[in-house]
Structure 1
């Protein structure tokens, strides 16, 4: 490698998305974030078009498009500096450019915001606040340089409106070093908790994923509600970061759903391949995230995967999440 070679944030994002091999363990020169064109140039001209200008398939997975169904994710903060706290700002706009100001509350929130690195090592589930003009904002601190994907999961409060997940790219400047996707495992460890995954993602068919939480070898039977359930699960496909809608089975107070140790979800994989699962659960007032790598259609091996900074990096907030 020639000295002085600079990797732009765009190149870093492409490296994460397409798996370009730079060599494991090497450290690269700083990523330099370049601001994209003005807002009107970043908006596709019509609903259903991808951010690259092509028409999306009717049943495409969520998060792959910046515009869908007449709504567009307008990311006002396309670049941040790795390791520095920044304010992430965005607006969801209707086809005429107006900001959406009415949302249906789902899982206790009007909008769920997920930020994940292209290598699926860093994950954030943030809770932004909406200003009267429709602009959403939240603090964010991303630990490593490279390409990230921002997902806005919401349902407009309009007759007949369906749930949407829109995605946009985010760049973090700084020294960039690629990391490999953690190996598949059916067990994750985080802050003294063990979380075991049973079930499998099956391409094209809905299936049950059950996660069992224990601590010090004992089942945790007093999980606390978080986002309207005893757990919140996000699944992302490695490579393009397609966002899977995963629905919990039962809810607190329904008379049948128990507060642990089991938390069950129904999920459908759009294709074969590797996926990263992120389970948020709340116990003793703290939200923690357990992460798993799974292969769609295959059972995960039993070897535990530690949810440590070397695997899934979570924010430094006291509850593990941004508010």
Structure 2
């Protein structure tokens, strides 16, 4: 095992139990749980179900007994904003023993989504597996405040599982920015992204299609998109809540058969409220992220 973090550490612990959750055509995985999680207490959550119609295989899932895993986050004692911070995630069973076998899904062993609790900051990173149930990665937290980490992994032979941990970056928390909510078009370097939902008023719990039109500098549909983590694009949607929980998290895959310059996701927003979404795609080998806000009645 490679070197572990030096110094004094803080740790947060989260229990995750196995079970099926709802899936939809685009490969969405949604967790339904209303319990909150602090840095010191353990909570039980429902793991993410298989990606229906995508790369996941349901054939073994229903035959496996339910398991409980414990995701433990360890950080250095001193935490500083806007500086790389080494994070360690230890995946353990209910008895505290390491879970040391994981399946690759979407080309990685773990996907880690880092968001500030005000949803201003978003990062999608991939920790390295260090064996014996340990994952390690360096992350940057741009400013003081509260952050939530959604770690997505798949113990061998079990369902894809989502764990939630928290980290607090000390310092003077800046005043909230003026949110440019509900903008429908954004330009990301050489790509213009326009967003349109299938219905003007989105109803909580009902199917909805989110369409993203991508055009180049000449206002022509993009034709050079490349796969990103095995899919045409990925969409992370998080409900604006305090505190954030696994129930607020949705991950969807783009529909496969769409025309040039168009990316579509079929999903649903489970509860009424305000959501922020981050759509990630690969153009010319560079991962681009377009963020938009939506509201569900």
Q: Same fold (TM over 0.5)?
A: yes
2:294 corresponds in structure 1 to 294
TM-superposition CA deviations, 1:116-150 (whole Å, max 9, x none): 00111111000110002221111111211100000
Distance 2:271 2:16 in 1: 29
Q: Which runs of 4+ in 1 moved over 4 A?
A: 42-50, 52-61
1:77–1:90 contact (8 Å) kept in structure 2 = no
Task: Indicate the larger mover: 72-81 or 130-139.
Answer: 72-81
1:164 corresponds in structure 2 to 161
TM-superposition CA deviations, 1:285-320 (whole Å, max 9, x none): 1111111011125xxxxxxxxxxxxxxxxxxxxxxx
2:37 corresponds in structure 1 to 51
2:120 corresponds in structure 1 to 121
Secondary structure of the 1:246 match is strand
TM-score by length of 2: 0.73
Which 5+ residue runs of structure 2 have no aligned equivalent? 1-7, 19-32, 50-65
1:244 corresponds in structure 2 to 250
TM-fit CA distance, 1:35: 7.2
Which residues of 2 match residues 27-46 of structure 1 at below 5 A?
Answer: 42=13
Distance 1:83 1:57 in 2: 31
Q: Are 2:107 and 1:105 equivalent residues in the alignment?
A: no
TM-score by length of 1: 0.68
2:14–2:165 contact (8 Å) kept in structure 1 = no
Distance 2:15 2:46 in 1: 17
Q: Are 2:184 and 1:186 equivalent residues in the alignment?
A: yes
How many equivalent residue pairs?
247
1:70 corresponds in structure 2 to 68
Which 5+ residue runs of structure 1 have no aligned equivalent? 1-33, 62-67, 251-255, 298-323
Instruction: Kindly indicate which of the two structures has a greater share of residues assigned to strand.
Output: 2
2:193 corresponds in structure 1 to 195
Distance 1:57 1:90 in 2: 17
TM-fit CA distance, 1:174: 2.7
TM-fit CA distance, 1:105: 2.0
RMSD of equivalent CA atoms: 3.0
2:112–2:152 contact (8 Å) kept in structure 1 = yes
Alpha-carbon distance change, 203 to 231 in structure 1, aligned in 2, over 3 angstroms: same
